[in-house]
Chains A and B, each alone.
Chain A
Amino acid sequence: DTAVSQTPKYLVTQMGNDKSIKCEQNLGHDTMYWYKQDSKKFLKIMFSYNNKELIINETVPNRFSPKSPDKAHLNLHINSLELGDSAVYFCASSQDNIYRRTYNEQFFGPGTRLTVL
């Protein structure tokens, strides 16, 4: 069974459209993340949720809105897509305890390659 899954794997769309990427983890983890990896492989965190609560919200345009319906899912919705949004988006999860500040290994999904034309 896939631990962290993302759909779709590839997403090609026109500028101005709205799209969503879904992420699910079956590891029972409390924390989930969204990362963006650019063409130079720089991996930057966008959001993190712990037990459905937003705990990290990096400098990301408000066109990006994460939604966590339950702790096993963290979806990413993007409005009014722009050319610069083209990248690979990774979802990850981990069994962190942010209150004790103990961080553990993250399990990554396979990535969603978004291309905005």
Chain B
Amino acid sequence: SQQGEEDPQALSIQEGENATMNCSYKTSINNLQWYRQNSGRGLVHLILIRSNEREKHSGRLRVTLDTSKKSSSLLITASRAADTASYFCATDAWGSYIPTFGRGTSLIVHP
């Protein structure tokens, strides 16, 4: 089944820096979503981008989608210590009812 793969697996930055995470997938999709998971908690939805969209913003978050390269990126600007979490992309492929998640990028923002 379809699976998104996040890159890098781990990212460590200083507060105030930007953090960029990437997600690649294998087959055509309906939409792609990004989620955040704080340690010991459930996932929280951040942004959904549909296959006919190229870019979306939400506060300090910017998501891009390049369907020709089958990839998406999540940019967090001016990061804060509270952004420390794991970030997952989730895709659902055309003709499939199955949402699939990658293994996540573990982001650490040092104060």
Instruction: Please report A residues at the B interface, Cβ cutoff 8 Å.
Output: 4, 33, 35, 40-45, 48, 55-56, 58, 90, 92, 98, 101-111
| Contact status B41-A45, CB under 8 Å | no
- Of A42, A101, A103, A109, the contact of B99 (CB 8 Å cutoff): A103
- Given A101-B30, A103-B30, A105-B48, does the pair A45, B100 have CB atoms closer than 8 Å? yes
Taking the nearest CB of chain A, how far is it from the CB of B99, in angstroms? 6
| Contact status B45-A107, CB under 8 Å | yes
A109 and B37 CA atoms in complex are apart in Å by: 11
Taking the nearest CB of chain A, how far is it from the CB of B9, in angstroms? 10
Taking the nearest CB of chain B, how far is it from the CB of A102, in angstroms? 8
A19 and B50 CA atoms in complex are apart in Å by: 39
- Given A40-B103, A41-B86, does the pair A105, B45 have CB atoms closer than 8 Å? yes
Chain B 67-111 residues near chain A, CB threshold 8 A: 86, 88, 90, 92, 97-101, 103-104, 106
Given the complex, which residues of A lie within 8 Å of B101, measured CB to CB? 35, 42-45
Name the residue in A90, A92, A106 with the highest tally of chain B Cβ atoms < 10 Å from its Cβ: A106
B31 interface hit (Cβ, 8 Å)? yes
| Contact status B42-A90, CB under 8 Å | yes
